């Protein structure tokens, strides 16, 4: 019996699990020995990526039991756990700018960078790929709503506007509305995604449901612990590397917090499973915009630090608006190719460059 377990789990999972344990152990050792914050920052980022790989494999196995839509929603929820943990710990540390830019950066990273890489890899390997029109169009529409949820509070609370001085109150109202819309969108997302559960290519290596849940639970718990360490090392690393809060939040934290989507979405596209790739990547952006952001707005009221509001810099609102427009234009025909992937990646690089030269954080 014991000799069959490694075969069923698979070498990929054993490698990812070993890497996660090693990177987490190294991170803990560096913290106990008071090593340099940059070393801890890098080690914890690697640990988050390894844990993300475990989540991706657990979700891949879960996809053999559920349909594309349900798998995409569950995968996206699990994939956003590190983002939730990082944001909560960062809010408690007073890094409101990092959290706000990281949340917007996560939407941009998923909608532009990760989706672009998925289209690029899938297009180069398989040519044009098709995916469900109904769900992708609805997701694109809801992402436009997410732009409005930031633009209206920003404009409505500006000096001379009707709600000037009431950014917190307006943010709470918008957060509640977004949560209601998100809950209402879930059934349609599940029904709208085509395709039954994906068959595992090797039934002998199909995990049991208990194994799937155990791997996902352990990886999620590990992500919570490592996220706390990651945030502890964040501010000192930013000071040492002379990076701005905007760049760290928009690029570094956003990519680290969305490592799951980076791995799973691109892998699914490489397997020519465009429906699954688009479903989980866009669902992740949707869950950040309509669920994670409003939840953090409400949580920030009781965490003890400064409150997170939906009033954002004009640059970030414009970037999010352009990303939603470009994404809608690309996915509305239900087909992707590598040139469209390059366009998405190109816009992401331009946006990232726009905050590179910001003032570095000081002690």
Average pLDDT over residues 246-273: 78
160 has a pLDDT exceeding 50: yes
- pLDDT cut 70: percent of the chain above it: 82
105 has a pLDDT exceeding 70: yes
Token pair recorded at residue 228 = 């706390």
Report the chain's C-alpha Rg in angstroms: 20
CA–CA dist 38, 44 (Å, integer)? 10
CATH annotation of 4-196+207-353: 1.20.1420.30
25 has a pLDDT exceeding 50: yes
- pTM over the 0.85 mark: no
Q: For the ranges 66-70, 93-97, 118-122, 214-218, which has the lowest average pLDDT?
A: 66-70
Residue-wise pLDDT tens digits, 274-284: 887 887 788 77
Residue-wise pLDDT tens digits, 277-312: 887 788 778 888 888 899 999 998 888 778 899 998
Average pLDDT over residues 219-243: 81
Token pair recorded at residue 329 = 């234009």
CA–CA dist 48, 255 (Å, integer)? 11
Give the rounded distance of the alpha carbon of 97 from its chain centre.
Answer: 18
Q: Which helix (H) or strand (E) holds 50?
A: helix 37-62
Token pair recorded at residue 44 = 């914890």
* pLDDT score at 198: 52
Q: For the ranges 88-102, 167-181, 258-272, which has the lowest average pLDDT?
A: 258-272
Residue-wise pLDDT tens digits, 34-65: 777 788 888 888 888 788 778 777 777 776 66
6 has a pLDDT exceeding 50: no
Taking a C-beta distance cutoff of 8 angstroms, is the pair 132, 347 a contact? no
Measured at the CA of 48, the angle between CA 47 and CA 53, to 5 degrees, comes to 95
């Amino acid at each position: 019996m014991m000799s069959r377990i490694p075969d069923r789990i698979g070498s990929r999972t054993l490698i990812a699990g070993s890497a996660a344990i090693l990177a987490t152990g190294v991170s803990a050792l560096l913290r106990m020995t008071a090593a340099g914050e940059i070393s801890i920052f890098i080690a914890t980022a690697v640990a988050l990526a390894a844990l993300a790989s475990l989540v991706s494999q657990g979700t891949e196995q879960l996809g053999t039991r559920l349909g594309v839509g349900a798998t995409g929603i569950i995968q996206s929820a699990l994939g956003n756990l590190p983002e939730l943990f990082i944001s909560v710990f960062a809010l408690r540390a007073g890094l409101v700018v990092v959290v706000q830019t990281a949340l917007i950066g996560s939407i941009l990273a998923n909608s532009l960078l990760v989706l672009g890489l998925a289209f690029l890899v899938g297009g180069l390997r398989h040519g044009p790929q098709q995916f469900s029109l109904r769900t992708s169009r609805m997701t694109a529409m809801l992402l436009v709503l997410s732009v409005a949820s930031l633009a209206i509070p920003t404009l409505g609370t500006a000096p001379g506007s009707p709600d000037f001085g009431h950014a917190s109150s307006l943010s709470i109202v918008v957060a509640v509305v977004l949560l209601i819309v998100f809950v209402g969108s879930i059934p349609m997302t599940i029904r709208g995604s085509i395709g039954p559960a994906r068959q595992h290519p090797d039934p002998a290596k199909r995990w049991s449901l208990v194994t799937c849940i155990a791997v996902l639970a352990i990886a999620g718990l590990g992500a919570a612990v490592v996220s706390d360490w990651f945030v502890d090392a964040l501010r000192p690393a930013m000071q040492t590397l002379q990076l701005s809060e905007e760049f760290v939040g928009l690029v570094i934290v956003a990519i680290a917090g969305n490592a799951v989507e980076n791995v799973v979405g691109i892998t699914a596209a490489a397997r020519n499973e465009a429906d699954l790739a688009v479903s989980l990547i866009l669902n992740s952006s949707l869950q950040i915009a309509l669920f994670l952001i409003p939840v953090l707005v409400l949580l920030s009221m009781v965490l003890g630090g400064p409150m997170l509001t939906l009033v954002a810099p004009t640059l970030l609102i414009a970037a999010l608006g352009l990303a939603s427009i470009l994404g809608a234009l690309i996915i509305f025909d239900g087909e992707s190719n590598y040139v469209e992937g390059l366009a998405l990646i190109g816009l992401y690089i331009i946006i990232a460059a726009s905050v590179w030269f910001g003032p570095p954080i000081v002690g």
